[in-house]
Structure 1
Amino acid sequence: SGGTGAAVAANFGTLGIGTDTGNSIRGPSSHNALVGFRTSLGLISREGIVPLYLRNDVVGPMCRTVEDATRMLDIMAGKDPKDPITSFSEGKIPDSYMAFLDKNGLQGARIGVFRTLSENNVHPEISALFNKALENMADLGAVIVDSVEVENFQELRQNQWCADFRKDLEAFLAEYVKRDTLSSLEDVVRIGTKSDFAKTRLEMFVTNFGRGQNPEIPCGDAFTDLRRVAFREAIEKTMDSLNLDVLVYPSWNQPAATIVNFQEEYKGDNSQIIAPHTGQPAFTVPMGFVSGNLPAGIQFLGRVFDEKTLVKLTYAYEQGTKHRKAPN
């Protein structure tokens, strides 16, 4: 979704759509001073997308404003028989998410500060922006609960990734490409790529996982996989016990990587850790800029299928701070 993020940020388009397996809506949005909605798994159909790990893949808006992203969400959300996981959203979608665009939405909101993801290996400028964002939210009427800990968090986050790339990719090729010469992961590797990074990644999948799954980690969805359910329940139990509306943390703990040195500088990503596995919604919005005029984002994590609360809070924060700037 990097191309989408750059294009929308540069005003080549008004609206964008990204696919987020672990980061790809929120990362480019954070690095391009955009709003990125990773919605609850099952809220928006993934039918027809090229999968990475379909058990985690989410489609969502990447826009310049929360209002634009919310308009897209109204259109995109809904049940699709071609993507069975959307059945979990039935009865949980309001008539319109636009009704929750409230400039005063932070008044009385309880914001949990998840320092677990904002204290270690954090760039000092990112830390300063994050703490300023908390001050801004308090000034806008929020109650800041600092800080929040989730019991057994480090243990629960382990072994959540699942090696189903081959299965998902080959199912996509069979459904949408329908060519004997392009039906397997090996066929994709054989055809090749001009990107050494992509080539290495594809070859890794072939070498590490052969033709099957990783037998040690069964691949289940976010509503039936007991490991994933336990992770989500621990987070939401903590939120419930403190009467929190959301948890917040920096979308990235380090500045955006430069293109020429991205493999060395690409670090600090917080988006991979919770929402892909738990199925919870996580929205990123701009929280300012660090040296080099590089944007940074703050992430709001909500309860599963509680997008309306995230819309309300992110909109109020955006309207109260106006951090986004068009590129020079």
Structure 2
Amino acid sequence: MQKVHMLAPSIACLLAACASTPTIITPRADGAEQRTEDALAAIERHDDAVQAVIAIDPTALDQARAIDAARIGGPLAGMPVLLKDNIEAAGPLPTTAGSLALANNVTGRDAPLVARLRSAGAVILGKTNLSEWANFRSENSNSGWSGIGGQTFNPWALDRSPCGSSSGSGAAVAAGYVDIAIGTETNGSITCPAAMNGVVGFKPSVGMVSRTHIVPISVTQDTAGPMTRYVDQAAWVMDAIAGSDPADPATARADAYRGRFVAALRDASLAGKRLGVLEFATGFGTDAAFDTAKAQLVAAGATLVSIEEIGAERLDGEISYKILLTEFRDGLNRYLASTPASVETRTLADLIAFNAANPRELAIFDQSIFEKAEKTRIDDPAYVEGVAANLNWAGPEGIDRLLAAHDLDALIFPTTAPAMLIDHVHGDDWHGGGAGYLAAWAGYPHLTVPMGLVRGLPVGLSFVGTKWDDPAILALGHAYEQLRGDLPRPQFHASSFDLAPIAPALEPVR
């Protein structure tokens, strides 16, 4: 397997003033170097089939050796981490958003969340593939495809979608390359690929994690977050990356939550908790798995409250889409203006022209979202009114009202349907799924935890709470995870026909 080696982050940062004072420990037998070698070997073994990784950092082993030599401690010390390729990392790695137009976007900048991971002793292993432009280019797109990375495949069945847009991050954790990857979400881009790949995904409250030096879609809804094997690992990451950033005003309150995430898990329990079951967000093939999860929650002492409808008067469904279109054009133009001169596409209009002139970019799907976004203006009064209405409907009049009216600790529902077949003719064929849009529109925390298999494909259980309730939501998911027990690991079947619950039924009776 040949991966483009494009990253050379500063090793000195691990040992100098840019890092917080580390805990000094005796290096473990499976220290940073061994973990990094194991991760690279797993990528070498499986990624020709999965195509989750865009770029391997050629200095990863040097980073790991520096961490071992410095005896840096803490839960993230020596942990290899993969970054979705819309997140900047210092060094010669271009941040591409999956687009050939950004193939030379070498900014030399660490996103604040990446700098914080380095300070915690994590090894930045490389970049993962994504749905191009975080799945905000075409209304008829394929999750997991980008011009740079090609198609990412689901490790459970390689003909199935990894969902998106954090496709490579979810697939890489599921495939066992790393225990931790970072994704980004505007509306479902962490939680959907986490659920369909059978891993944990956490979308924090908007403002908990800095968005600086991340290719934007929506200033209202964008956030980065962890995709991990277990919930406690997501808490480790959040304690590292949460925090205020003067360049991102939404994060003004975030410093108050640093250090609370792992602490919240120590006494995690479902006893006495009241969970609202969003009945209007169930079905789509997940009923049996969801029934099992609900029974486990009740057995652990939780009270389940059935909620048939959201209750607030439904908004025009186009409002949210118009918000994203408008904020995308404005935010992307600002981002492109900050890129180095080697990036020739300086505006969204330039990107539209670039794609039209490059057959590979339009080989799988069009750029209809780009074309609609280019027609928007950030000073449109309808946009300003729409942001306020959407936030209020999903947040105070939606999640918050349901929590208060029923005296709930959180809302629960199946995250989404099992992974659909990859279809490069018709695009993604969605089979329904959950109420994650409420948390996305409101900017509230949303955690998905694997809850079982449907005919051999994983599905997730979602926990949603109010703004800034992130530690408590992780604690609920951690408590549930202890009840659920271990699930099988993906076997890289070439087709869903090979999945054990299905395969025997496909043969004739003889």
TM range (shorter): 0.7 to 0.9
- Given the superposition, is the C-alpha separation of residues 233 and 71 from structure 1 closer, same or farther in structure 2, using an over 3 Å criterion? same
Q: SS in structure 1 opposite 2:184?
A: strand
**Looking at both structures, which has the greater relative contact order when contacts are Cα pairs under 8 Å and sequence separation is at least 6?**
1
Point out the structure with max Rg over C-alpha.
Answer: 2
What SS does the aligned partner of 1:146 have?
strand
Distance 1:266 1:226 in 2: 27
Question: How big is the shift at 1:88?
Answer: 3.9
Quick one: distance in 1 between partners of 2:369 and 2:477? 38
* CA–CA distance in structure 2, aligned partners of residues 189 and 226 of structure 1: 30
Alignment of 1:148-297 (within 5 A): 149-152=309-312, 154-155=314-315, 159-161=319-321, 162=323, 163=325, 164-178=327-341, 181-192=344-355, 194-196=360-362, 199-200=365-366, 202-207=367-372, 209-210=374-375, 212-213=377-378, 215=380, 217-219=382-384, 225-234=388-397, 235-252=399-416, 254-260=417-423, 263-270=427-434, 273-291=437-455, 293-297=456-460
* Residue in structure 1 matched with residue 480 of structure 2 by the alignment: 317
C-alpha separation in 1, matches of 2:373 and 2:262? 45
- Deviations, residues 236-265 of structure 1 (Å, cap 9, x unaligned): 12211221000011111x321122367253
Write the deviation string for residues 38-90 of structure 1: whole angstroms up to 9, x where unpaired: 01011110111111223211100000000111100000111001111111435
**Shift, 1:270, TM fit:** 3.1
- 1:17 aligned counterpart, secondary structure: strand
TM-aligned CA distance change 1:238 to 1:260, over 3 Å: closer
Q: Distance in 1 between matches of 2:173 and 2:264?
A: 24
Mean Cα deviation higher: 127-136 or 182-191 = 182-191
Aligned to 1:61: 226
Determine the C-alpha separation between the residues in 2 that align with 1:197 and 1:214.
34
Provide the C-alpha distance between the structure 1 equivalents of 2:344 and 2:362, rounded to a whole number of angstroms. 23
Deviation per CA, 1:176-234, whole angstroms, max 9, x where unpaired? 2446731111222333363547751x343224642524946425897xx3541343112
TM-score between both structures, scaled by the size of structure 1: 0.88
The structure-2 alpha-carbon separation of the partners of 1:266 and 1:287, relative to structure 1 and needing over 3 Å to count, comes to same
Structure 1 CA distance for aligned equivalents of residues 349 and 342 of structure 2 = 14
Contact 2:173 2:179 in 1 (8 A): yes
Q: Give the TM-score taking structure 2 as reference length.
A: 0.58
Is 2:297 the counterpart of 1:131? no
Residues 153 and 286 of structure 1: is their aligned pair in 2 closer, same or farther, counting only changes over 3 Å? Answer: farther
Which is further off, 96-105 or 73-82?
Answer: 96-105
Report the count of equivalent residues. Answer: 318
Pairwise mapping of residues 95-134 of structure 1 onto structure 2 (< 5 A)? 95-102=259-266, 105-118=269-282, 122-123=283-284, 125-134=285-294
- Give the counterpart letter for 1:270 in structure 2: G
Q: Verify the 8 A CA contact 2:315 2:390 in the aligned structure 1.
A: no
C-alpha contact (below 8 Å) 2:208/2:244 kept by paired residues = yes
Distance in 2 (alpha carbons) for counterparts of 1:198 and 1:185: 20
Structure 1 pair 128–195 and aligned structure 2 pair: CA distance change class (3 A): farther
Using the TM superposition, give the Cα deviation of residue 140 of structure 1 relative to its aligned residue in structure 2, in angstroms: 1.3
3-state SS in 1 of match to 2:338: helix
* CA RMSD between the two structures: 2.5
One-letter code of the match for 1:133? Answer: A
Gaps of 5+ in 2: 1-165, 492-510
Counterpart of 2:212, as a letter, is E
